[in-house]
Structures are given as structure tokens and as C-alpha cells.
Structure 1
């Protein structure tokens, strides 16, 4: 038997349940040098947080996987906050590293509170003030807290939100043919903390996250049966069959508010796009062309969706957009072959 993994194109942005607060009063200017020092762009000095042995390695690992060049070695001191740089800021400025991340952890009523700062070395100011985050004192919560802090540090430095606290849904298959077993799994964005959500004898296709990150819709095809779409709660429990129709039911896509699901199905003939309540019920047929229409995906505003159709000719798929308000369909792609 051999094991291989297929990563689906389904990334879940972070859905933080942790408390993040910001003191918007930045620390006063401590000192600025009035001569030029070469600045090493994208360089970040990271001081492991005082009192912590769990968060710092996670944060350092996350940031090291970006364009930022992070170092925690050969630093002139191990400060916990901007106040401890008084008198030593010129030494940090002489290094030419533009950003410094410092922090510390403390206990508060059974929880772990992390205070941290991202310091602009040249000006000696804390970017957006001191940040605080509170997490439960257990392995899973602390791991998630580390990702959330890495998200914020990355955003404060680059201006772009990080997604280290996101999750990836993927399919792991073992065996072939009638012996195939498929597992729908979820892992942290850094590849750690993998968990099996469900296991079936057969194949699992196209998992899709709900906007709130609590559910995943996916298709299951067992031996000698049509693919059926299921909706599963990520936290556990049994899956519910959404499309028990005699046809190929594939490619579920949640609406932005999570109340509806688009999918493709051939239970009324050629494959068309349908919309159905996320809790089940009677589907509404949206496309009705003699060609095959598959792989629907809602636009972020929910006012339209894109899909793939071969109405231009066999083996010549193109991408189209359907507008809910007008019912109009327009071709989006212009190449000879466009899909997914």
C-alpha cells in the first residue's frame, strides 16, 4: 500500500477567537541618530518572549517562511519592551536592522497573556503601540495564539494581513481501487496539528470551507455509486448528506453568508449548476444549457458566481460568470482552454 496526499485549493483565513487588544498610544521617541546607516531591508530581529517557551518558536518559524529575514541570534540584548532599550537604542540602530520584535508572557486567572511590541528601530517607536493577546493555557490554544501573533507582527511590518492562523483542508488517500480509503483532514497553515475529520471507503473530492470555518462541504464517491455532497462540522459529529440525487454531485461552494451552497450535478441530464440551502432541501437549477457546467464558485459579495462550461466545444472549457440579479451570463476567459 502507498500513501499520497492531495492538497485541495481550500484555504481558510483565520477566524480568531482570541482577544487581541492594542494600545494606540505609541511610546515616545527615545533617540534618533542623525547620520546614515545602511538599512538591511526586510530584516527583523526577534527576541524570544520572556517567560515563554511555546509561542516564540512558532512565531519565529512562521515569519521565517515569508520574505522577511528574521534572526534571533547574536543580538546585543534580550529586551522585553521598548522601555528596556533606553540607552541601548544606538547599538540596535548601528546594526541596520529596521524592525525589532519583543514581548513577554504572564499568567492571569489560569490564562496566558502575551504582551508584545514591534519596534521601528530608526525612530525608536512602537508600531501601533503595545499588543496584547489572551489564550487558554493548553497546547492547541497556545499554538493558535502563536500563529495569531505572527499574523499581527507580519501585518505591522508589511501592511499585509498574515494568514499563519489559517487552516488547510486536504485529502489523504491510502490504497487503490476497491481498497481505497480516503480521509478528509485539516491542518494548521504551517503543516502541523493535522486532524482527521472523516474517513470513507472510496474517494473524497473538492472540500470547501464555510465562511465561519465551522463546516466543510465535500463530495464522496463510494464503489459503484454517484458522488454525493456532504456537510461536516469541523469540530466533530456525523456528516449530513446534502445531495442524495442520482447524478454526479460535485464542487460545493458556500455562499459568503454560509446559508447556501452552489454545486454541479447531472441528476437532471447534463451537468448543470444548482443552488441549495446549506441545511438541505430542494435545489434550484440555475444553468440549463445542453453542455456541461461545473466547478461553481461564489464571488465574495455573493451577487454572482463563476463556473466552467464546455459550451464552446468539446474539450474547450471556458470560465463564465453568472449574475444573480439579471440572470445574465458572460464569458470571462479568452484562452483556448480554461478551467478550475
Structure 2
């Protein structure tokens, strides 16, 4: 839909280049323009950055998968800065799009510098001023820079940090039995740029990120051996054995400060919950019930953790919460079968497996979202801002990772070889 109007456009550029209200000038200069205005329902107009062909498609793709309605089409101009926009602001205001993203790239001492602005179109104000980001001139750095800029643009518009610069670790399994090969892989949050961190003959279980997103802890079970937990740098190098104990060592969870790890182990009998230094050493048993206790996960404040126990009866696992300060344990889940708990970063939600369905509950145990039976008995993993989840499923015999919005954004799938399991989302690397 388009409307044909004659606009009185006031030249509003101040000496500083900021957009200012017409009432601040005693004698504005007025131009009469005949302009066809595209009326749109989008919330954000994104103008591809001047001098750039790499960052803009990444940023636009990221933002387009959120609840924001983003467009780069049918725009009246291609401004690169607010100073260029000043004279034609009313044109943009009449389009009815609340926010405008503009910018440009330049080279400085071999680096690619991106200057960009998010403009509140109604007021003409640049939100938090001009933003700048410098990146190395290579594919990896430029992709990351695009995600970081998308994070910041989303935050400036919504007030919530974006989740595009985090990464997703997952397991890819090929073959069966003694011929099974498992790969621990990492990809960008848009499903691109996948690479293998480690490969083993056997099975990999329950990867988990360190808070700084530089390490991953995971369990490996080779043929005729018990699962052992390893910690490995994402940037490369060999993995360090964390639990050289007899028995099943599974489900590591980093403390919020990254210094400690919770895990389950049966090296002293039935499966219990232990805590130890993330660099190794002697573990301390925390939960020692006659039943089996597994799958611990630290709360974001580090004051408690959730775990799974079958103390209620065989095949009736439930989620419990342990408080470090008081030593008190309380039951959290209210369903008949609840496993694989994982907190959101703000602690208000817990992703879990509700019977055979991936689900989400609040901290009181009430189910707030049911994602259905995925064909793989695993819980979803929250994105850093809690607005999206990632989970594994099988579709047509293929392994698929689904990144699903929880607030009206676009959901999409990423397929791979063999079976895909246990995706987990990291924070932005520090």
C-alpha cells in the first residue's frame, strides 16, 4: 500500500549533526517535495551499511528471526548517518516505521570499523548515540562482528540483550555399536559456521558451556568403559580428564563463576551428586540418597541447583532443588515424569523433559510451554536472553536442530549427518 503526498520538509540539521525539533529554529528552511510514501507495518527499517557486503546480510538475517518486523525493502533513501538523514526525516516519519538502523564501514589500519546508529524515527533521536565496532578483516571475525551488532541493535530497540553472538554446541552421531563415531560440534546461533571440536569412537554426552563460553565440559563413553568427564577449550588443544573415577560420570554443570563443576557419579555406589573444582581434584558428595540422583544444573545465582531423582519410585523421576546455604531439598516438578532440568539465565524458567515432550516450567513447577514430542528424549536449551530455545529432533530419519522463538519470532531448523543430540546455547564469548 502506498500513499501519494506532498510533504513540507524542514531542514533540521544542527551544527553537531544531531536531529533536532523544528521548534528550536526561528526561521527553518522549507522545501516542498512530491513523494510517494510506502506505508508499512514493519517495526524496523534496516538500511544496508554503506561500503559493506558482509555484515549487513548477517545483521538483517538475525533481526528478521526475532519478534521485530524488519525490512530493507521499499525504503526512500540509503542514508549512512543521522546527519545525512536530517533533511528528510519527515519522509521516514510518514512511513510509520518506529526505528531506523543505518551505518557504514571503513578500513582503519587493516581493521574493518563499522559505525552505526539506531534512530527513534518519531523523535528523530539517535538511541545512545553512534555505535562503533572494530573487527579483523577475515570471515570468522566479520561473522562474529555481524552477530554482535545485531545483539546491540536488538538491545537498543527492546531493552533486552540479543542472543545472536552466542554459539550452540551439539553432538553429531554417525554409525552404531562399536562403529559409532561421535563429534562434538559448535555452530553460530544462526545455524551457520559449524565446526568439529573433538571426535571420538564411542558416545559423547551432555556438553555444557563454561560461563565465559571458552570451555566445554562433556562426558565420553568408549566401548567397554564407564563415562568419563572431560573439559576442553573451544579454541583448540587437548581435553583434560576431570573425573578419572570408576563408575558412570555424567552431566557436568559449571558454577556461575566457572570455578566449580557439579556432576553425577556412581563411583561410590548408586548415582549421587558431587561438586569439585573445575580444574580437577577431590570431589565432595552433596546428595547421598539411597535412590539414583543425576543431571544437576546450577541456578544462575550459584546459591542452589536442580537435579533429578527417582526416590518417588521406579520410572517416576522428579526434579528437586538443593539449597547450598540451608542444605534443604525441595521437590520442584509437578508432572509424573520430569528429567533433564536446565535454568534460563535469569533463573525464572526451567527447561525440562516432561514425559516424552520437551517443555518449559517456571521456577514454581508450573508448565508454561510444551514443545511436543521431538523423537529424542532430551530437554531444550535456552538462549542467553531466554527468548529462544534450541532442541534436537528426528525428522524423516534425519537429525535436526530446531531454534524456536518463544515470543513470536521466526523458528528454523538446521539438519546434519546422522543423529543430532544435546544442543546447548552459550553466552557471548568473553
Match of 1:249 in 2: 249
Structure 2 equivalent of residue 230 of structure 1: 230
Cα distance change, pair 206–118 in 1 and its aligned pair in 2 (3 A): same
1:78 partner SS = coil
Structure 1 residues 207 and 222, CA gap change in structure 2 (3 angstroms): same
CA positional deviation for 1:335: 2.5
Deviations 1:28-63 (A, max 9, x none): 42559xxxx998665211111011111101101111
**Partners of 1:209 and 1:215 within 8 A in 2:** yes
Q: In the alignment, is the contact (CA less than 8 A) between 2:113 and 2:134 conserved in 1?
A: yes
Q: Kindly indicate whether the alpha-carbon contact (under 8 Å) linking 2:167 and 2:189 is maintained by their aligned counterparts in 1.
A: yes
Please show how residues 164-175 of structure 1 align to structure 2 within 5 Å: 164-175=164-175
Paired residue secondary structure (2:107): strand
Following superposition of structure 1 onto structure 2, how do residues 69-80 of structure 1 map, counting pairs within 5 Å? 69-80=69-80
CA contact (8 A) 2:165 2:188 kept: yes
Superposed CA offset, 1:202-222 (max 9, x none): 010000001111110000011
- Higher strand proportion: 2
Deviation of residue 27 (structure 1)? 3.0
Unmatched tracts of structure 2, length 5 or more: 1-15, 24-36, 341-430
**Corresponding position of 2:297:** 297
From 18, 43, 64, give the equivalent of 1:27. Answer: 18
SS at match of 1:286: strand
Name the Cα RMSD after superposition. Answer: 1.8
Whole-angstrom distance in 1 between the partners of 2:227 and 2:103: 51
TM alignment of 1:269-288, pairs within 5 A: 269-288=269-288
1:146 aligned onto 2:137: no
For 1:285-334, what per-residue CA distance to the aligned partner results, in whole angstroms no more than 9, with x for missing partners?
11110001000011111111110111111111111111112222111122
1:61-100 to structure 2, matched below 5 A, reads 61-100=61-100
Q: Shift of residue 193 of structure 1?
A: 1.0
Mapped to 2, the partners of 1:226 and 1:41 lie a distance apart of 57
Show the 5 A alignment for 1:158-197. Answer: 158-197=158-197
Aligned position for 2:120: 120
Matched residue of 2:274: which SS?
Answer: strand
In structure 2, C-alpha distance between the alignment counterparts of 1:267 and 1:190, rounded to whole Å = 40
Matches within 5 A, 1:33-48: 43-48=43-48
TM-score by length of 2: 0.70
Determine if contact 1:26/1:129 at 8 Å carries over to the other structure: no
Q: Which residue of 2 aligns with 1:325?
A: 325
Secondary structure, aligned partner of 1:128: coil
The number of residues matched between the two structures is: 312
Distance 1:113 1:242 in 2: 41
In structure 1, list runs of 5 or more residues that go unmatched: 1-24
- Mapped pair 1:132 → 2:132: yes
Report the equivalent of 1:16: none
Please tell me whether the aligned partners of residues 41 and 98 of structure 1 are also in contact (alpha carbons under 8 angstroms).
no
Separation in 2, partners of 1:80, 1:42: 20
Aligned to 1:7: none
- How many Å apart are 1:73 and its aligned residue? 1.5
In 1, distance between residues paired with 2:301 and 2:64?
Answer: 34
Instruction: Give the conservation status (yes or no) of the 8 Å contact 1:232–1:240.
Output: yes
Deviation at 1:136, TM superposition (A): 1.3
After superposition, give the CA deviation of every residue in 1:119-164 in whole Å (9 maximum; x if it has no partner): 1111111111111111111111111000000001111111111010
Structure 1 range deviating more: 129-138 or 193-202:
129-138
Using the alignment, how far apart are the partners of 2:286 and 2:307 within structure 1?
11
Match of 1:21 in 2: none
1:242 Cα deviation from its structure 2 partner: 0.9
CA contact (8 A) 1:171 1:204 kept: yes
User: Please, what TM-score do these two structures have when normalized by structure 1?
Assistant: 0.88
Counterpart CA distance in 2 for 1:95 and 1:76 is 9
The match for 1:13 is none
Point out which structure has higher relative CO (alpha carbons under 8 A, 6+ apart): 1
Q: Are the structure 2 counterparts of residues 26 and 269 from structure 1 closer, same or farther at C-alpha, using a change threshold of 3 Å?
A: farther
Is 1:59–2:59 an aligned residue pair? yes
